[in-house]
Amino acid sequence: MLAQSGSGTPPGGAEWLHEVKWDGVRGILARNDDRVAMRSRSGREMAASYPELVSAAADLEPGTILDGEIVTLSSDGVPSFELLQRRMSLRAAGRVAEAAASVPVTYVVFDLLHQPAGTMIGTALEDRLARLAALDLPQGIVQSDTFADADPLWGSVVERGLEGVVSKRRRSPYRPGTRSPDWIKTVAFKSLRAVVGGFTEGEGGRHGGFGALILGLGTDDRMRWIGSVGSGFSETDVRAIRQALDEMTVADSPFEPHPEMPTGVTWVAPVLVAVVQYKEWTAAGRLRGPSFKGFTDHPAAEVTWEAEGPEAPGG
């Protein structure tokens, strides 16, 4: 189940419950009779990437299925997608043990979809949360706090620089695969998904890496250039991403021609989708103040100007 984008501040009223919008990777965790499975939104198996969570989930009762977010906390207790991206980079390099030891993760649960007695998806949210609270969750798996009053939570989210708030109707069922108005996400900063179509060469401390990723959004024919992002990367990110980009190079630009496009760009197949935080859209349709937050497995074909551009909900 997915949330629709809201604007301004979270909705008010007694029908809503509110929680932090966690800046991590969404995952469904299932404790079956003989194993633990963890799958991403796209259905990709993620269990091998988070062995400590799999080990912890083995203590859950068979037949338990949870919905939540895999998060990494910074030293000041704030969710950090940058740290989580570092872990994913280590995992991609085959350094699983090092990833688990150096970048610990927590699975923050916000829904209970199934329990040994049967499915919970047709049950009201507040009842699912009550059942979830009654579970003896193992170490490393915690339940997300919910609040009846959005105002204090929103104030705290803005003050601490968190991603936003998700508001959910108390009596709503769980609708798998649906982006429902029963869930509303209100972000404290603007972010979008964008397709990587090329990169510039790195200079100075980034020699041998890249300077910036060239970003675009799909149109009817090709991609519309929306700017470049060169901040938000660690040194590890730059090396790992450059290695991946070198395997994706193509001869021709995937973008519509534009006179202000940077020169000296190496083009890549438009398959990588980046999450980018930004201040605002310029009048020319470019991102102002973009910062890289990580990659997502969202299908590149769905990352379009209509879905993510300035006129899109939440844009």
pLDDT tens track for 111-168: 999 999 999 999 999 999 999 999 999 999 999 999 999 999 999 998 887 889 999 9
The pLDDT assigned to 85 comes to 81
- Between CA 73 and CA 49 the distance in angstroms is 17
The pLDDT assigned to 174 comes to 98
Better pLDDT: 27 or 234: 27
- Check whether 313 has a pLDDT greater than 80: no
Mean pLDDT of 221-237: 92
- 314 within a domain of the structure (yes/no): no
- 154 within a domain of the structure (yes/no): yes
The pLDDT assigned to 314 comes to 56
- 52 within a domain of the structure (yes/no): yes
H-only helix segments in the chain: 51-57, 81-92, 96-102, 125-133, 150-160, 235-246, 305-308
Three-class DSSP labels, 31-79: ECCCCEEEECCCCCECHHHCHHHHHHHCCCCCCEEEEEEEECECCCCCE
Number of folded domains that form the chain: 2
Q: In terms of domains, do 24 and 66 share one?
A: yes
- Check whether 309 has a pLDDT greater than 60: yes
Q: In terms of domains, do 181 and 199 share one?
A: no
- Between CA 268 and CA 187 the distance in angstroms is 31
- What is the tens place of the pLDDT at every residue in 83-110? 888 888 888 888 888 988 999 999 999 9
187, 209, 237 - which closes a domain: 187
The pLDDT assigned to 46 comes to 92
- 157 within a domain of the structure (yes/no): yes
Instruction: Count CB atoms within 10 A of the CB of residue 61.
Output: 10
- 204 within a domain of the structure (yes/no): yes
Among 151, 64, 147, CA closest to 111: 64
pTM of the model: 0.66
The pairs formed by 97-101 with CB atoms below 8 angstroms and a separation of 24 or more are 99/49, 100/50, 100/51, 100/52
CATH classification at residue 157: 3.30.470.30
The pLDDT assigned to 87 comes to 87
Q: In terms of domains, do 170 and 204 share one?
A: no
- Between CA 37 and CA 30 the distance in angstroms is 5
Confidence class of residue 30 from pLDDT cuts 50, 70 and 90? Answer: very high
Q: In terms of domains, do 272 and 170 share one?
A: no
State the catalytic residue, choosing from 21, 168, 185, 293. 21
The pLDDT assigned to 150 comes to 96
187, 205, 225 - which closes a domain: 187
The pLDDT assigned to 221 comes to 82
- Between CA 84 and CA 41 the distance in angstroms is 17
Segments forming the whole domain that contains residue 30: 2-187
CATH classification at residue 266: 2.40.50.140
Mean pLDDT of 165-187: 96
Q: In terms of domains, do 55 and 176 share one?
A: yes
Cα distances from 20 to residues 1, 94, 188, 249, 252, in angstroms, run 16, 32, 11, 39, 42
187, 205, 227 - which closes a domain: 187
Mean pLDDT of 188-205: 91
Q: Average pLDDT over the chain, rounded to whole?
A: 92
Asked about 21 being catalytic, the answer comes back as yes
Instruction: Count CB atoms within 10 A of the CB of residue 154.
Output: 21
- 178 within a domain of the structure (yes/no): yes
Among 82, 77, 95, 92, CA closest to 25: 82
199-210: b (≥16 Cβ within 10 Å) or e: bbebeeebeebb
Confidence class of residue 188 from pLDDT cuts 50, 70 and 90? Answer: confident
The pairs formed by 241-249 with CB atoms below 8 angstroms and a separation of 24 or more are 241/89, 241/209, 241/210, 241/213, 242/199, 242/202, 242/208, 242/209, 242/210, 244/92, 244/272, 245/196, 245/199, 245/210, 245/272, 248/272
Q: In terms of domains, do 248 and 112 share one?
A: no
Least confident of 138-142, 231-235, 254-258, 280-284: 280-284
- 70 within a domain of the structure (yes/no): yes
Q: In terms of domains, do 111 and 160 share one?
A: yes
Cβ proximity of 199 and 265 under 8 Å = yes
Residues 6 or more apart in contact with residue 80 via CB below 8 angstroms: 23, 72, 73, 74
